[in-house]
Each structure stands twice: as structure tokens, then as C-alpha cells.
Structure 1
């Protein structure tokens, strides 16, 4: 979900059409339109590379064009860009990497990166990180590192999830930012008594509920447990996971009762219209506020502390670049990823697409608004960054198992963890 216009596409695209094929990988049609590298192999630079991009929407497509242009000007290398439909790129990524992939390609940090690294389908860029490592936080490096301890990903941007609200409305009502879960419940009760919807929760598309689950799991059981659960190194039918849903149940009476039939855009409108007091979502929510006055009135606070780790872990999906296995032997391709790891590279992208937050420490943020700086600060201060459930976990686990189970939970207040665990065992065994 690199930006608001593709927020749904990137999640939903990742969650559809998967079956198990050769090597235990996802069997999908070959990605069309990706030319072979003009000089990606052999370990020597020929001054050219190919770049497969999922940035098919107008704004990110122009942003990557600006980035590539800046790289070509700096390096004198030539980049052939092959842009594919966003959904198609995600759905066809495995056969793409097994076939004739580009040298470099757009992708995501977290499990989605580690999965393909474990299959030997992507290029090790640890040597690039030796040059750019000081330009990123430890949390960003952790999110770029696979299970073998090597780096396979270079971040471009990310965006935090948290609670958004209208400052003037809160000031009028005397609401204060909750620091703990108990504070949040107390605030929700007050909002309900004031005749407004406390939490503009929506789940028509099912993925939004993952954000609440992820935060509660990290706040109750810690970041590492969250990562291990997503990778099925921990079981679902455990007291730790039950506690997540038991805690969540306390908030259910204060969530929008129409949630199951609402899109996140509709929820955002309720927040903007002061029908709701707050909404947990990614910062892409702000593009729903086209009235400048309303947009200037929007603020943000992190998901409150519940049990462990305070608010150290932040849900902030990271998008960036990777190399195919072939591209890992290409000096120009590695040079392009090194450029992405610089302020100059990220500024070139941000000059067009300002809906996200640059991740390089030396990126010029003087043009950031106070609000954007606040969002960036939350990420910069994080000790751990999660990617959102459908990026940290097996896609079929998210789409076929957890999302339907969470929707049932929202309606009934109960969850069958033994059934979830049974399905998880089957799905992960196929990998």
C-alpha cells in the first residue's frame, strides 16, 4: 500500500489468486513485458540495467521516473523501466522471479522480502548496506534483513498507522490523548456518552481489521512474538493470542456498528465530519480530506501502551527496491539501490509523490509540514517496525483465514483459535 490510491490494491493484490506450485512457491502466470537485462550478469558494469516497477498509478509512476532520471544523471548508467499493473505485478511475482526478471524491482520489506530470500530468488545487497547502513535506523535495517542475517531490500518510504483525529473537535469536547489502553476505553466511553461514534472503524474490505490486531498483538505480546506468529513459529491456539482478542473485545462496543459495510474512505469521512472521534488507519487517510481547513485540523497519536514494550513498535509498512538473483551480479543495479538509500535518491521520488515519508536520514525534510514531521518522528523513534499482517504473514493466511475470522469476531465477539491454528498448519506446511 504505497500510497492512498493504491492502498487497497497493494493489499488485495497480494492476497488473491495464490496456489502452491514448483519448489513449494506460489504458482502464477509469468509477468509479461519484463525484458531481460542488457548487462545484469557477470559481475561487471555495462552501464545499463532493467527495472521492474509496480508503480502503475500516475503519481508513483511519475515519481519513479523522476528517481530513475536523477540516478541516470548521476551515474551515467541507462535504466530501462518496465512498469506493470500494480495487482498483476504482485500476483505474478514468483514466476517473474523464476523466469527472466529485471535486475531491480519494486517490493516490500518484512516477510514478503524474507520469503523470496529464503527461496534464493533475490540478490543479496549486504554490500550496499555496508555503504548506506548509517543512513537508516536500526528498525529499518531489521525490516530489510532476511532470516540468514543478510540484507535484500533498500527502503524508499514508509507511513505509520495510528489514531487520527480532529484537533479542534477534541479541544471543544475536552478530550485528551490516551496513553494507555485503559485511557483509550475511558475516552471511548466519554465520546459515546457525547453522542458520537468513538472509533470510525471500517471492515468492508476486511484488511483494515488487521491493523487493530497487529497493534494489540505487539502491545500485549511484543514485536518478536508478532513476527513469529505471522511466520507460524508460534501457534494461534494459545493464551497469548486469546488475550489479544479478549482485549480487543473491550473496544467492540465503541467501534462503528456499521463497520462491516463501510470502506475506509467512508470511515474517514465520518471522522472529517465530526461524526466519529478517532480512526485507526495509515497516514494515507489524509488524502480523503480535500478541504484544506479540515486537513490542517487533523492530528495523530500512536496506538496506546497495553502491556509490554510501551509504544516502541510501530505499524509502518515499508516500500522500496530489491534485486533479482541475476540483478545481484549487476554493478549498475547495485548502484541504483545505493542511490535509493541516499537522501538525493529519495528526494527525487518525493518531489513528485509527497504522500509518504522518506526513510533516509540525510533526506531533506525542510519541506515537510509540522504534521508530516510528527509522523516521521514516530517512525524514526520506533525500535521495531511491523509491515501490516498481509506483508508479515503468508498471503493465504491473511486472506483465507484471519481476515474472515476477524470479521466474524467483530460481529459475534468470539473467535475459534483452534480452527485458525489448524488452517495455519496446513498452509504453512505447503511452503
Structure 2
């Protein structure tokens, strides 16, 4: 599982409306900028763009953006499992999130690794359409345990598959059970309940809602859930697609509502990383935190067992509280890997029950995509997260995955940060967003 670490990643995050929505009990399941670091070899892969077959079938290279300690360790264990079962050695090229996402476009046009970590939906389709990814239709012919929704999220515009899903994670409001039991807090069912709870948490000396937006992306999750609760799933997706006006009363209501909630948010968020905000929850200094399931990476032992969550409460009773964000991560193959056979063999393994079982045993902060996995090893938190996703009526990916990468990175990141800094001029902010949207979506 992965989340970006800096604003630069947003040039690489996309998912189109056409693959974003699924029915109940199903899961839905960019290009980057300059490649200056390629010259240093920091993101230089081992593959050969001028070859595509043959090569050393006893080894395969993987470009991984899983640079945080826990995900990195899990990837290593999965690759060890592949080596044990196949005899093929995996050379992992782990690169910091920022570097990986900032240079992915040039990386894929150069000599990428045979297999690389990436994301489902449009961001996969983007590189497939550019001819920078290998066809995995043959691999999918050997896979079991995936719903049609996962396959759809792995399919390019030409109907071929280019992606193997590995994990996914819902966004929700996390809290520590012990703190809530001690204080007598109850899960809020409505926005009024949330405001009342937040006011009580303030009286009790807590930051009601942990919050961080130094890296640009966390605030997108807050916008997403408010828009989904206030205006519904379809409006949210249409807004992300450039089909609705940011100056509409519907969007203004989202920001007005958010402005009302900002006093409950941890102050000085633009100077704080998501990990630091998570630590305030871990240290019992904050009462709640809206984030993805990966927040569990900042907890361990008894603290992790103390972690729980609820879905963001209802705002409009006619819309309800069943929609949510649940992004998918996985693997792709280079256009011309040095050994196509070895690469496809690895990807088949990465999509297997065996690989999923290894992930389940070693990472309590994600959910595996393969339904055949032994989820008996899931923690209580993981089981609840899987149930949450299963009960959702609509599932979006995330703002940066549901819209154009240039719009997400160059418009929405600074706009949301400006709003957090000064929430008073909502009208002027939305006019600016709309004007930039028109320029970008008509270009």
C-alpha cells in the first residue's frame, strides 16, 4: 500500500470516472514531470527498452516505490516467496516515493525495471495508452480470486489488462478506543453530532481532529468525503471530470461546511506530515483522524489493537453515508522487459493467493485484493475495513486519482492549502479554481 509523500507525486495520480464507481458489495477496485534525477541513476531501472524476450530468465528486476519501512519489508518478503517457489531471483530497486513519482514518465521511456509498482484505473490506463506498459492479458488468464471490478480497474482503453492489483485501503475516521471509553465519547452519526463531539474534545484538552497537509494530498481526502456526503457520488465524479462548475452553490456548500469544521482541526497543518499527525493520535493528543487504513503503520502492539474507526457521518439524509474512497495499488510490467517470461511469471505470482497470504501475515495496515487469501490472519481493524468497503454503495479512488494529474497538482493542491490558510474568501478561491479548470480541461 502506498500514499504519496510530497506535492510532486500528484502529477502521477489519476483514475477516470469510467472506472471509479461500482455497485454494492463490489470494489473499484500520470504522468510525472522532469526526470532530472534519472541522470544520477536514482531511478534507473534494469530493464532494456530495446529488448523484450529472452534475457536471463533466472532473474527479474522490480522498481518499487514502497520506501517506508513496513511496506518495504512486506515487498521483500513477497519477493522472497516468489524466489522460493520459482527459483527466479528478484532484484528490488526501491526508490523514495517522491523520486519515483516525479520521474515515472521518463523512467518508463528509458530502461525501466521489468516490473514496477503503480496504481489502478486511469493512471494505469495513461501509460498503457502511451505504449509504456506491457500487456498482461496472458497473466490475467492465469489469475483467480479477483472480482470483475478489480479486472475492470486493471484494463486499458484497448480492452487488455496492464495491471495486477495487490492491495487496497479505505479512508475513514480513526480513533483510539481507550480514549473514547475513558471520556465516554460516542461515534457521531450526523454532522451535528461530530461538531458536538469536537467541542467536547476541545474542552477535554484534545485536538478533536488530527490534521496534516504539508505534502499536499491529505486535505484532498477531506474535500472528497465532504463532497460525497453533501452532493453525492455522481456529482463528485462529474466535478472531478470537469463537467460541473466549481463556482456552483453545491461546491460552495462543501467549503462552507469545511470552514465550519476547521476550528476542530489540528492547527498549523501546512507544516505537518501525515505521519506526525498520526503520532498525535497515537500519543492520545488528538481524538480523531480522517485518513486511509495505512495510518496503522504508525501504531504497533497494544496501540494498534486500540485503534478503531467509523465512516464519516451523514450530512444529508437523502444522500447518506455509504460512499467512500478506497484506492488500489499493485504492479505493472515494462513495455519490453529484459525477460518477458520471468516478468510474467513474477506478476502471476504477485496476483496469487500465496503472495496475498504473505502480505496478510506481515502488514496489518492494508487489505489484499485477492479474495482467495487467508484473511483469517486479518486483525480486527482489517476485518472491519473489509466490511466497510463491502457495504459501500459507491467507491471513489481519491481526488488525485479521479481527475487529471495537472489539475490535481497545479490547481487543487495550492487551492486547498490556500483555503486552509485563509478560509474566508471561498468565492474568490472557487472562481480561481473554475477559471484554471476551464483552461486545463479544454487544452
What TM-score do the two structures reach when normalised by structure 2? 0.80
Query: Structure 1 residues 49 and 193, CA, compared in 2 at 3 Å: closer, same or farther?
Result: closer
Contact 2:325–2:398 at 8 Å: present in 1 too?
A: yes
Q: Equivalences for 1:297-316 in 2 at 5 Å? A: 297-307=306-316, 310-316=320-326
Query: Structure 1 residues 39 and 284, CA, compared in 2 at 3 Å: closer, same or farther?
Result: same
- The match for 1:14 is 9
Query: Structure 1 residues 328 and 185, CA, compared in 2 at 3 Å: closer, same or farther?
Result: farther
Contact 1:44–1:331 at 8 Å: present in 2 too?
A: no
**Distance of 1:63 and 1:39 partners within structure 2:** 32
Give the C-alpha shift of residue 280 in structure 1: 0.9
Q: Equivalences for 1:233-312 in 2 at 5 Å? A: 233-289=243-299, 292-307=301-316, 310-312=320-322
- The match for 1:124 is 135
1:414 aligned onto 2:419: no
Query: Structure 1 residues 26 and 270, CA, compared in 2 at 3 Å: closer, same or farther?
Result: closer
Query: Structure 1 residues 231 and 75, CA, compared in 2 at 3 Å: closer, same or farther?
Result: farther
- The match for 1:364 is 374
1:425 aligned onto 2:435: no
Three-state SS of the structure 1 residue aligned to 2:172 is strand
Three-state SS of the structure 2 residue aligned to 1:417 is helix
Contact 1:30–1:95 at 8 Å: present in 2 too?
A: no
Give the C-alpha shift of residue 153 in structure 1: 1.6
- The match for 1:21 is none
Gaps of 5+ in 1: 19-23
Query: Structure 1 residues 29 and 270, CA, compared in 2 at 3 Å: closer, same or farther?
Result: closer
Give the C-alpha shift of residue 90 in structure 1: 1.6
- The match for 2:62 is 51
Q: Equivalences for 1:124-143 in 2 at 5 Å? A: 124-132=135-143, 135-143=145-153
Contact 1:54–1:83 at 8 Å: present in 2 too?
A: yes
**Distance of 1:273 and 1:35 partners within structure 2:** 42
1:202 aligned onto 2:202: no
Q: Equivalences for 1:30-429 in 2 at 5 Å? A: 31=38, 32=41, 33-37=44-48, 41=52, 49-77=60-88, 79-132=90-143, 135-192=145-202, 194=204, 196-289=206-299, 292-307=301-316, 310-327=320-337, 330-410=340-420, 411-415=422-426, 416-428=429-441
Contact 2:67–2:96 at 8 Å: present in 1 too?
A: yes
Q: In terms of mean alpha carbon deviation, does 209-218 or 352-361 score higher?
A: 352-361
- The match for 2:35 is 28
Q: How many residues align?
A: 419
**Distance of 1:375 and 1:327 partners within structure 2:** 36
**Distance of 1:218 and 1:149 partners within structure 2:** 30
Contact 2:220–2:399 at 8 Å: present in 1 too?
A: yes
Three-state SS of the structure 2 residue aligned to 1:92 is helix
Query: Structure 1 residues 8 and 105, CA, compared in 2 at 3 Å: closer, same or farther?
Result: closer
Give the C-alpha shift of residue 301 in structure 1: 0.8
Three-state SS of the structure 2 residue aligned to 1:304 is coil
**Distance of 2:56 and 2:271 partners within structure 1:** 54
Q: CA deviation digits over 1:276-298, x for unaligned, max 9?
A: 321112233334345x4443322
Give the C-alpha shift of residue 113 in structure 1: 1.8
- The match for 2:22 is none
Q: CA deviation digits over 1:232-253, x for unaligned, max 9?
A: 3544333332232233233223
Query: Structure 1 residues 273 and 95, CA, compared in 2 at 3 Å: closer, same or farther?
Result: closer
Q: CA deviation digits over 1:209-235, x for unaligned, max 9?
A: 111011122233344443443343544
**Distance of 1:418 and 1:227 partners within structure 2:** 19
Contact 1:216–1:244 at 8 Å: present in 2 too?
A: yes
Contact 2:233–2:323 at 8 Å: present in 1 too?
A: yes
**Distance of 1:38 and 1:120 partners within structure 2:** 12
Give the C-alpha shift of residue 361 in structure 1: 0.9
**Distance of 1:329 and 1:322 partners within structure 2:** 14
Give the C-alpha shift of residue 87 in structure 1: 2.5
**Distance of 1:26 and 1:429 partners within structure 2:** 20
Contact 1:14–1:390 at 8 Å: present in 2 too?
A: no
